[in-house]
Amino acid sequence: MCGFVGMFKNAPLENEERDLITRMSQAIAHRGPDEDKALNFERLSIAFRRLSIIDLEKGSQPFEYGDRYVGIFNGEIYNYRDLRAELIKEGYTFETNSEIEVMLTLFSIEGERFINKLRGMFAFCFYDKEKNTVMLGRDPFGIKPLYYMHREGRVSFSSESKAFYLDPSLDKTSIDKTQLQHYFTYQYVPEPSTLHPEIKILPAGHYMVCDFSADCDVRVERYYTPTFRPQKSDDFEKKAELLRRTVEKSVEYHMISDVDVGTFLSGGIDSAVITATASKLNPGIKAFTVAFGVKEYSEIDEASGIAEHLDVEHIKLVAGLEDFKRAFDKVVYHLDFPMADPSTMAIYLICEEAARHLKEVLSGEGSDELFGGYRVYNETLTSSKIYSLPKLVKTPLNWLSRVLPDKVKGKQLLYRGTTPLSDRYVGNAFIFDEESKRSILKTFDPSVHFTDVTRDIYRDVQGLPGITQMQYVDMNTWLRGDILVKGDRLSMAHSLEVRVPFLDKEVFELASTLATEEKLSHGTTKYIFRHAFRDLVNEETVMRPKLGYPVPVRKWLRRELYDWAKDIIVNSGADEYIDKKEALRLLDAHRDGSEDNYRKLWVILVFLRWHSLYKASYLG
């Protein structure tokens, strides 16, 4: 787990550009405190920050392979030992036990196609001196980040976008108004875009080839598409057993390390399975749990019961309002761009605590997307009967669902049942609708619609069951833009590596075959997954619904955080984007209980604080 920056140009680099790379590397020093190293060539400058996990003595980067290839790499390749053994059989020799040497060996043999052999989380930059080309690549699910800026004749890249803000030629005041509008729906900006019009993120499952030998060609290719092909098995128990073996094997691969590994433990089934499986491989493993000191927002008791049942060391962190306030600016800064998920506060604090004990933890992200775990997926069953009604009946029911007051029971069921999935579901979060955005955003453009992001995604899964379509949308939006962003940035803020065993190609291949009734059944979500691991933990844990790092923002914004939030709104410098009067109205309505606006307020507050931090306090 590390970080890197670099610049590749179709002309010799100037001294100022090489100096910029040095400063960009310093901006992401938290990603790799163990080593700092750079290499300069006539047209390429790269710098690497290392957090030592594998081959502590010889795994230094940038790595030069022969006289032709140079590489830098962030992440972990879990099958690198298998690949290394195969290459040795073919006569290749190795000087280190590192992943990067295996990757560059494969690259020298197979070129771009080598990326298909990798099983893991990664972002990399490989330089071919002979061809004068650079290949940038990112893992299939987007676990590891890779940002880039492409200007005429120059490509710069970084593990975190904050590094680009040190470039004096970058207009720091520039904001992509279309993406700002999408942020207010999604609570993040969906990739490959960011809130800055010049900064992009290489999409998950893609690689980029920069060829400056001739016409400065930059080519982006997709090499991996998570394809769902649901098929009900005639032997449910056999399929459940195979699922369990596949997950257990993935956990085993994800524990390959030369340092101690821990786990994050909540009160739910995902982290319980990870912790239980990992503890069999390492009985001395540590499990970490965070909660805020408000009972209804705490999973500590449930997590303690799981830890006791598994007989693992349990480290508990109970945070309070002052911890929340202390962490807020740091969370906003480290997330790079606005991402308004309140759980980020809990994740930042538990990563901070875990980093005091070790360098690496396992976490349960991805299980809900792969196995159908979100409660919202149940709506495909409850609303299907209404959706099957004749259009003549559905049309007036749809109108009724739009004019009924929000508090009327059944309003949402009517709306879901009479509205096509592709017109209403954009992933696990939907904050501001178009009318609400018109009220809060001074830059609102009626020609921009939230479905602009998901239209092509739905086209890929047309004709598949509703839950499968929702999973695919979540994998391409919510998982990449929210779940994995907060997991990477907030762990690396503390130089901590987080590994996610569920987001593995082999696990996905099996999960992709699950039928609807194997995911939604017996009154619960991801039924076959719960069934496969039912003997590891008690029945209560197996059936417990997901909470997901709950934070008492809803409660605190009514009293404890009211003045704090009002101060952010009143003193913000983003008047050209946000209608302060409407923002304050939302805050007051939330305080008096007439409206539940905490999610909308959090989107506003995070954007306003990001705007202040990135344009003043941190980057000037």
Secondary structure (H, E, C), 423-477: HCCCCCCCCCCHHHHHHHECCCCCCCCCHHHHHHHHHHCCCCCHHHHHHHHHHHC
| Burial class of residue 344 (count of CB atoms within 10 Å of its CB; 0-12, 13-18, 19+) | buried
Closest CA to 59 of 10, 110, 98, 17: 98
Catalogue the active-site residues.
2
CA atoms within 13 A on the CB side of 530: 24
Measured from the Cβ of residue 582, the count of other Cβ atoms closer than 10 Å reads: 18
Instruction: Cite the DSSP H helix spans in 493-597.
Output: 505-511, 516-519, 527-532, 539-543, 553-556, 562-570, 580-591
Contact status, residue 148 vs residue 513, Cβ threshold 8 Å? no
CA pseudo-torsion sign 118, 113, 124, 187:
negative
CA atoms within 13 A on the CB side of 1: 27
Type of residue numbered 335: L
Contact status, residue 430 vs residue 481, Cβ threshold 8 Å? no
Question: CA-CA distance, 49 to 56, in Å (whole number)?
Answer: 14
Question: CA-CA distance, 28 to 49, in Å (whole number)?
Answer: 8
Type of residue numbered 554: R
> To which residue do tokens 């524990």 refer?
255
Question: CA-CA distance, 557 to 397, in Å (whole number)?
Answer: 35
Task: Provide the residue count of the chain.
Answer: 620
Instruction: Cite the DSSP H helix spans in 461-560.
Output: 466-476, 478, 484-492, 505-511, 516-519, 527-532, 539-543, 553-556
Contact status, residue 333 vs residue 612, Cβ threshold 8 Å? no
Contact status, residue 232 vs residue 514, Cβ threshold 8 Å? no
